[in-house]
Amino acid sequence: MTWKCCIVIFLVLFFLASPVRVLGSTEKSELSPEQAALAKKLGVNPNPLIPQFRYRSVADQTWLSPWVVEGTVERIDEDLYGPYHTKVRVKALRYLKGAGPHEITLNVLDGRFYSEYDKKIMRVDTVGSLTFSSGDVDGRFILFLDKHALSPRGRETHYEHGEGEFRTANRYRVVDDHAEPDPGIAEAGSPGAKRYSYQEIVAEILRVAVPQSQISKGTP
């Protein structure tokens, strides 16, 4: 009887502990041996979380982004009632990685919104977040995109991105045949702060995106 109790307690503890281990392991990426070998060959760090995305090299950013798009910002709309308060409408000139529609929307949480709590228009800003302003309209950008959504507990479905909608993980503005890093990255020494020639950044993106797509058919 005692042994049976011990076994039951062990099994209960084991299953209780399992989710903790899974949560704790989210920092580590799960790559196939082929993907890991390619990452090593290309010289990229495949860990999705460390270091912070916008400070990483373009090669790392490309590896980690399902979509890399070159496009022009056509207009910026505000959405007072939706979960994303700023909608950046972009005409995709070409997908350097992944595939998608020509007209896409970049969802930004920041902006003015109607607050049910206050019963009036309020504003929210996330410190250090990547935002677009009227000065970006007509600007040409290289955009590193994903579908990550802020998911407050119990509201998971509320913040999902729709068809043709993305989150901008980082951007470079193309000016006079150069790709300028986002001005929000002030740490001069970080790889993410590097300024590229247009040809150089496109070549770097394709250097990673093309072989990566060849070993991961079926995923963007």
Handedness of CA 22, 24, 26, 31 (dihedral sign): negative
Residue 71 pairs in a beta bridge with 92, 141
Distance CA 180, CA 216 (A): 30
Using CB under 8 A as the binding rule, whether residue 122 contacts another protein is answered as yes
Stretch that binds another protein, among 7-15, 87-95, 136-144, 147-155 (CB under 8 A): 147-155
Q: At what angle do helices 33-42 and 198-215 cross, to 10 degrees?
A: 160
Residues 24-53, one symbol each (x = binds another protein by CB under 8 A, - = not), give --xx--------------------xxxxxx
Stretch that binds another protein, among 8-16, 70-78, 185-193, 207-215 (CB under 8 A): 185-193
The secondary structure element, H or E, covering residue 199 is helix 198-215
Using CB under 8 A as the binding rule, whether residue 140 contacts another protein is answered as no
Nearer to another protein, 66 or 198 (CB): 66
Query: CB–CB of 188/42 below 8 Å?
Result: no
Query: CB–CB of 53/64 below 8 Å?
Result: yes
Handedness of CA 42, 45, 51, 54 (dihedral sign): positive
The site that binds another protein (CB under 8 A) totals a number of residues, namely 39
| Least distance in angstroms from the C-beta of 102 to another protein | 26
Amino acid identity of residue 23, one-letter, is: L
Residues 81-120, one symbol each (x = binds another protein by CB under 8 A, - = not), give ----------------------------x--xx-x-xx-x
Using CB under 8 A as the binding rule, whether residue 172 contacts another protein is answered as no
Query: Tokens standing for 122?
Result: 């309020």
Site residues for another protein per CB under 8 A: 23, 26-27, 48-55, 109, 112-113, 115, 117-118, 120-129, 148, 150-153, 155, 167, 169, 185-187, 190
